[in-house]
Amino acid sequence: MITVSHVHKTFPLKNETFVALGDVSLDVADNEFVTIVGPSGCGKTTLMNILAGLEFPTSGQALVSDSPITGPGPDRGVIFQQYALFPWLTVRKNVEFGLRTAGVPRDERRERAQHFIDLVGLHDFADSLPRTLSGGMKQRCAIARAYAVNPSILLMDEPFGAVDALTRVRLQEQLLQTWSQEKRTVVFITHDVDEAVFLANRVVVMAARPGRIVEIVDVDLPYPRTEELRLSPAFTALRNRVWSAVYHQEPVS
Amino acid sequence: MTVVQVDTEVTTGSPPTRERRRRGVPKTVWNLLSVLLGLGVWWGFSLTGFDIPAPPEVAGRGWELIADGTLADDVLASLGRVLAGFVLGVALAVPVGFLMGWYGVARGLLEPWVQFFRTIPPLAIIPLAIVLMGIGETPKVFVIFLASFLACVIATFQGVVNVDKTLINAARVLGARDGTIFTRVVVPASTPFILVGMRVGLGSSWATLVAAELIAAQQGLGYRMQSAQLYYDLPTIFVGLISIGVLGLLMDRLLLLAERRLTNWQERR
Ligand SMILES: Nc1ncnc2c1ncn2[C@@H]1O[C@H](COP(=O)(O)OP(=O)(O)OP(=O)(O)O)[C@@H](O)[C@H]1O
Ligand SMILES: [Mg+2]
């Protein structure tokens, strides 16, 4: 369970302080799939970095299972906006990285890595270097790497931002499939309103200057989500609601 | 990263097969042609009254020097000096470069000195080294050491500073602590920079060596050329020049090969 309460985050600029997050509060339940949408610069990555333990709130609190976040931890897996694969390691070695730091013995490491490589459909590329993979494949490798350490929380920052629309749809379906097989809490950041609604239990809409949450939309559509559902009126209605929350934001005075 | 790529781009020996097929004639054929053409021009000049020896004359002299063992002795003496200085320089430069890149304090303390000595060509240190260390092997090895150290320390430092912050963050969220991040992220990520630094260092070591031998030595390629100069023995000077060039090229290729093997994970465009 993630609890964000009254988090402010400011960055010092030359002669002023920039408010990246102003009073953000959000609860995410266990095994919930939450997506965060908002315009560029509204503090999505900043919020994710705070949850990842890579940055700390200026004031307010971020808690995981009721204890404050003091740094990165094996309970939280992160998938970065830029894939951040280690280019000198093969897909397999990348996926094994977190298992090695956790001191998992060799054989078990192999086995678990293989399981997640298969899960994201990269078995034919297990021993390839990242430079030989396409963007979408790199992304799936990053997903496998995060899944392998078996975190109860997955933080994903615009993971499908760099792939084409077709691959994107496929990756979304694959992600949901993986998630339904291996349930965990997911916080998923995106620019894309369709993607946000398609994936989520709840869509959190953020606005910029200062970064804040303007609306939370519950998506009570059943899983598994299909192409059919994507074209249904219920989906369209929700999508339109999120769309207007994102694109017709009242500026604060 | 660009430094690395530009450098390898220029010295790449064989283009990708796709390109080779498209061009038709392989690049090595052009290379060979160019060498033959160069020899022809050289020969031409020597025939038209320029006071330089013709290729066969140089080849003959080269054969004499090989036959009586002089060339081998000189090459060994020169190579020994270069390798000693180079290995020492690199062995010190890599840890120092890592310290500078990783710890702000080390950087603050060391950077002014490195930057200062970098602006002094190693050759300019030779007089000082001879006064302080005599005319034995020590000053020569020292100057070569300095040349390779300075080239390599900067490269290593740049490599460490340029390690992508997201890769470090990725390692941290996968549970890595400082030690692991250093050995498993910073070291591999800066390897391409270090290898480029080593190549530059080797080049400048080699250049410095010959100059150091010109001043005071009993053996070595530089010394051989220096003494040949006294007798207007141009063929020997040519043999020396060609040996220096060929050896330098060979060593550079060797390092390039190592670089390719160790950093074939890099995206090359
Ligand atoms: N380290 C930093 N120093 C100063 N300002 C920062 C820093 N990190 C983020 N910011 C500022 O905070 C704001 C929010 O940044 P953030 O990266 O969280 O946006 P985002 O919502 O993820 O945007 P995008 O969708 O473009 O990725 C931006 O205006 C950015 O300039
Ligand atoms: Mg972002």
Pocket test residue of A42, A54, A81, A192 for ligand 1, highest count of atoms within 8 A of CB:
A42
pLDDT the model gives residue A171: 82
For residue B216, give Cα distances in angstroms to A172, A246, B211, B225, B226: 72, 78, 9, 12, 10
Minimal C-alpha gap between B167 and chain A (Å): 5
What is residue B183's DSSP assignment?
I
**Mean pLDDT, range B219-237, rounded to an integer:** 88
Residue spans per domain, chain B:
56-262
Residues of B in contact with A94 (CB under 8 A): none
Distance between Cα A47 and ligand 1 center (Å): 10
pLDDT of residue B15: 43
> What is the pLDDT of chain B when averaged over all its residues?
85
- Stretch B248-257: mean pLDDT: 90
All residues at 6 or more sequence positions from A90 whose CB lies less than 8 Å from its CB, including other chains: A126, A127, A128, A129
pLDDT classification of B3: cutoffs 50, 70, 90: very low
pLDDT greater than 50 at residue B14? no
pLDDT digits (tens, 9 = 90+) for B38-73: 999 988 888 887 788 888 888 999 999 999 988 999
Q: For an interface test with B, give the residue of A79, A88, A109 to mutate (most B CBs within 10 A).
A: A88
B56-262 under CATH 1.10.3720.10, yes or no: yes
Rounded to the nearest whole angstrom, what is the distance from the C-alpha of residue A212 to the centroid of ligand 1? 13
Q: Which two tokens stand for residue A217?
A: 């939309």
Atom 5 of ligand 1, nearest CA residue: A11
Specify the DSSP class assigned to residue B124: G
Q: Evaluate the omega torsion of the peptide bond into residue A210 and state whether it is cis, within 30 degrees of 0.
A: yes
Q: How far is the CA of A44 from the centre of ligand 1 (A)?
A: 8
Ligand 1 nearest-atom number relative to CA A38 = 21
Which one, of B158, B145, B143, lies nearest residue B215 by Cα? B143
CB B81 within 8 A of CB B209: yes
DSSP one-letter code for A251: P
Q: What is the pLDDT of residue A203?
A: 96
What stretch of H or E contains A110?
Answer: helix A106-119
State the number of CA atoms in the 13 A half-sphere of A220 facing the CB: 0
Q: How many C-beta atoms lie closer than 10 Å to residue A243's C-beta?
A: 17
pLDDT at A8: 94
Reading the block at residue A74, the tokens are 């094996």
Ligand 1 atom 3, closest CA: A11
The reply to whether residue A80 touches residue B169, judged by beta carbons under 8 angstroms, is yes
Residues B257 and B254: their CA atoms lie apart, in Å, by: 5
**Averaged pLDDT, groups of 10, chain A, 253 residues long:** 93 90 94 94 93 94 93 91 91 94 92 90 91 88 89 91 80 87 91 93 92 93 89 93 85 54
Amino acid occupying residue A147? Y
> pLDDT value at position B21?
54
Which pLDDT does position A253 carry in this prediction? Answer: 47
Ligand 1, pocket-test mutation among A45, A47, A54, A246, most atoms within 8 A of CB? A45
Q: Cβ distance B251 to B86 under 8 Å?
A: no
Ligand 1 touching residue A20 (CB < 6 A): yes
Domains of chain A are 1-75+154-167+187-253 (3.40.50.300), 81-150 (no CATH)
pTM assigned to the model: 0.79
Query: Which pLDDT does position A92 carry in this prediction?
Result: 95
Pocket of ligand 1 contains residue A40 by CB under 6 Å: yes
Our measurement of the distance from residue B219's CA atom to the centroid of its chain's CA atoms, rounded to an integer in Å, reads: 21
Which of B1, B173, B178, B184 best probes binding to A when mutated, by most A CB atoms within 10 angstroms?
B173
* pLDDT tens, position by position, B152-200: 998 999 999 999 999 999 999 999 988 899 899 999 999 999 999 999 9
Residue minimizing CA distance to atom 26 of ligand 1: A40
Measured between CA atoms, how close is A117 to chain B, in angstroms?
A: 17
What's the average model confidence in pLDDT over B125-149? 87
Under 8 Å between Cβ of A194 and A239: yes
User: Which atom belonging to ligand 1 lies closest to the Cα atom of A9?
Assistant: 12
Task: Starting from the CA of residue A211, give the closest ligand.
Answer: 1
Distance, in Å, from the CA atom of A36 to the CA atom of A204, rounded to the nearest integer, reads 5
Q: Which whole number is the average pLDDT over B135-150?
A: 88
Residue ranges of chain A whose CB lies within 8 Å of a chain B CB: 52-54, 71-74, 76-78, 80, 82, 84-89, 97-98, 101-102, 129-131, 145, 149
Q: Which two three-digit tokens encode residue B51?
A: 């006071």
Task: Provide the percentage of residues in chain B whose pLDDT is more than 70.
Answer: 90
Task: Indicate the burial class of B190 (C-beta count within 10 angstroms; 0-12, 13-18, 19 or more).
Answer: buried
- The Å distance, Cα A65 to ligand 2 centre, comes to 25
Inspect the interface and report whether the beta carbons of A97 and B166 lie closer than 8 Å: no
B24-29 own/partner pairs: CB under 8 Å, 24+ apart: none
pLDDT tens digits, one per residue of A52-100: 999 999 999 999 999 999 999 888 999 998 889 999 999 999 999 999 9
List, in sequence order, every beta strand (DSSP E) within chain A.
2-12, 17-28, 33-37, 59-64, 67-68, 76-79, 153-157, 185-190, 202-207, 212-218
